[in-house]
Amino acid sequence: MSQSAKKAVVIGAIVIVVLAVAVWRIAGQQQLPRVREITGATITMLDVARQTAEVEFVHPKTGRMIKLPGTLAPGCQIFIDGQPAQLADLRVGDVASVRGTIYPGYTTSVQADVVRVTRAGPSTQPAPTTTRAAGGS
């Protein structure tokens, strides 16, 4: 093999390695969409006409407050106190559990598949009492 052919092979190998490293680094920086459930999220914005909302929650790993805009997926299921509901039934300030696909990036967002809101507080009825029958031991 001639000297120039050896140089061409070495330069070609270096170019391939550099391109491989560049592709590997770029691919490693891209985060893929993933399905997650966010619990304890407070609804901070709601636009029924556009089918959009924004929730605020504490990130479970970092403890930071996160605001996350989102949309409803076609066929999104919404429940309030376990009963089927519509987006218009939700209110700013409701605390929700949201399951959906999170799309990370410059403007991270979520597309919600299921939204569950619990509004019912503890029962206001007195707890049942048990009385002992007369003559019982």
Find out whether 85 and 116 touch, Cβ atoms under 8 Å.
no
Residue 124 pLDDT: 44
CA distance 79 to 51: 16
CA distance 130 to 136: 13
Q: Which residue has the higher pLDDT, 57 or 60?
A: 57
CA distance 26 to 116: 37
Whose structure tokens read 């019982």? 136
Domain ranges for the chain: 1-30, 32-117
| Residue positions counted in the chain | 137
Residue 125 pLDDT: 46
Domain 32-117 -> CATH class: mainly beta
Residue 112 pLDDT: 92
Mean pLDDT of 57-79: 91
Residue 128 pLDDT: 44
Residue 29 pLDDT: 56
CA distance 16 to 5: 16
Query: Is the per-residue pLDDT at 84 higher than 90?
Result: yes
Residue 122 pLDDT: 57
Instruction: Report the 10 Å Cβ neighbour count for 43.
Output: 19
Mean pLDDT of 76-102: 94
Q: Provide the pLDDT confidence category of residue 5 given band limits of 50, 70 and 90.
A: confident
- Name the pairing type of β-strands 109-117 and 65-80: parallel
pLDDT tens digit sequence for 18-51: 888 777 666 655 667 888 898 999 999 999 999 9
Q: Which two tokens stand for residue 55?
A: 């929730």
